[in-house]
């Protein structure tokens, strides 16, 4: 928060890019209480109107991400990489709602070794958060998903929603799953 206040001062050169690394180890040793609040982000973007933020999150719990992601962050790129924890559908949904104007890159990687299969972000809901991300985030040009279940019909929906604007759609073959009815048709 203090860094955001200093950078928001009008005597500083406006920022264009801010890359943030959030790691579970650093969260264990430091409180999230010193993270910038929404007012800090608003002040920073008033002085740096072209600011875009890139967040890399390693093994960060979904509850912690919900505390970090403030509405006024001009989030352009986010990269989740997990070895222990998994991102929740709620976090993906929040990202698609708050950052629909700026988000261009969304990378979701899960290296958790779990014999019961890959986590499914849709939580058996009718609306898949990844499809909603593709629908809401009209500037999305890169979507990479590794180690999470992506239903084949949702993958098709994502591709259709973004069309040729989606320059990279990268999904691990093992992540793609089919409904039993679809599988019979294949």
Predicted TM-score (pTM) of this structure = 0.89
Structural domain boundaries, residue 115: 15-177
Tell whether 74 is covered by a domain: yes
Tell whether 58 is covered by a domain: yes
Span 93-111, mean pLDDT?
95
Tell whether 1 is covered by a domain: no
Per-residue model confidence as pLDDT tens digits over 60-95: 988 989 989 999 999 999 999 988 788 888 999 999
Tell whether 134 is covered by a domain: yes
Per-residue model confidence as pLDDT tens digits over 129-142: 999 999 999 999 99
Span 18-31, mean pLDDT?
80
Tell whether 8 is covered by a domain: no
Per-residue pLDDT band for 49 (boundaries 50, 70, 90) equals: very high
- Mean pLDDT over each residue of the chain, to the nearest integer: 88
CATH number at residue 57: 3.80.10.10
pLDDT at residue 178, rounded to an integer:
84
pLDDT at residue 3, rounded to an integer:
86
Tell whether 6 is covered by a domain: no
Enumerate residues 6+ apart whose C-beta is below 8 A from 67.
32, 35
Tell whether 64 is covered by a domain: yes
Tell whether 130 is covered by a domain: yes
The tally of domains found in the chain comes to: 1
Whose structure tokens read 């206040």?
5
Span 103-128, mean pLDDT?
79
Q: Which of 30, 62, 74 is nearest to 129 (CA)?
A: 62
Enumerate residues 6+ apart whose C-beta is below 8 A from 27.
60, 61, 64
């Amino acid at each position: 928060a203090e860094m955001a206040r200093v950078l928001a001062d009008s005597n500083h050169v406006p920022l264009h890019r801010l890359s943030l690394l959030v790691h579970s180890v650093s969260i264990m040793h430091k409180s999230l209480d010193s993270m910038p609040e929404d007012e800090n982000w608003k002040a920073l973007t008033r002085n740096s109107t072209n600011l875009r933020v890139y967040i890399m999150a390693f093994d960060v719990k979904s509850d912690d991400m919900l505390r970090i992601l403030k509405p006024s962050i001009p989030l352009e790129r986010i990269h989740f990489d997990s070895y222990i924890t998994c991102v929740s559908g709620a976090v993906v949904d929040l990202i698609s709602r708050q950052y629909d104007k700026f988000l261009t890159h969304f990378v979701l990687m899960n290296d958790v070794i779990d014999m019961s299969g890959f986590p499914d972000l849709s939580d058996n809901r009718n609306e898949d958060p990844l499809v909603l991300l593709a629908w809401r985030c009209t500037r999305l040009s890169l979507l990479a998903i590794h180690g999470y279940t992506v239903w084949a019909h949702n993958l098709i929906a994502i591709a259709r929603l973004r069309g040729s604007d989606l320059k990279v759609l990268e999904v691990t073959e093992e992540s793609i799953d089919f409904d039993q009815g679809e599988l019979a048709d294949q």
